[in-house]
Amino acid sequence: MKLRIVTPLAIVVDEDDVASLRAEDASGGFGVLSQHADFLTRLTVSVVSWVGGDGAERHCAVRGGVLAVRGGREIAVATREAVRSDDLSALDQTVLTHFRSETDEQRRARVESERLHLTAIRQIMRRLRPEGRDPMGF
């Protein structure tokens, strides 16, 4: 099978002879072998691992993304950020921890932004509402 892992800035992995692949989505880990049915899923922050035609296992940490299997012969992964390494323990200890902490920071920033947005809407509604009138006009 052909495997391609891309970010907006680079092609991180481009291999033609992949025997099997293992990845993780919200439902858990899954595997892909040759002739797999067409498939599309959203990946979590995790490690994508595959076995090349030479039998060597390789790994790439991904910061979420989308995985697509096409025609049972092509696997494409699009992700915001990816780091390839043959040392699985190094990926797990450093890269995944970094990706997860950034994801948590982004989630907190998004929640704070939503809070500010809702507060602004409430203040606008208070200014637009005449004194003593019900907001529904009754």
Tokens 């699985």, located at residue:
88
Kindly report, residue by residue over 20-35, the tens digit of the pLDDT: 999 999 999 999 999 9
Half-sphere exposure (CA, 13 Å, Cβ side) for 107? Answer: 6
| DSSP-assigned states of every residue in 37-101 | PPEEEEEEEEEEEEEETTS-EEEEEEEEEEEEEETTTEEEEE-S-EEEES-HHHIIIIIHHHHHH
The whole-model pTM stands at 0.69
Kindly report, residue by residue over 35-74, the tens digit of the pLDDT: 999 999 999 988 999 999 899 999 999 988 999 999 999 9
d(CA 62, CA 12): 10
Extract the tokens encoding 136: 């529904």
Q: Which domains does the chain have, with CATH numbers?
A: 2-120 (2.60.15.10)
Kindly report, residue by residue over 99-123, the tens digit of the pLDDT: 777 666 777 788 888 888 888 888 8
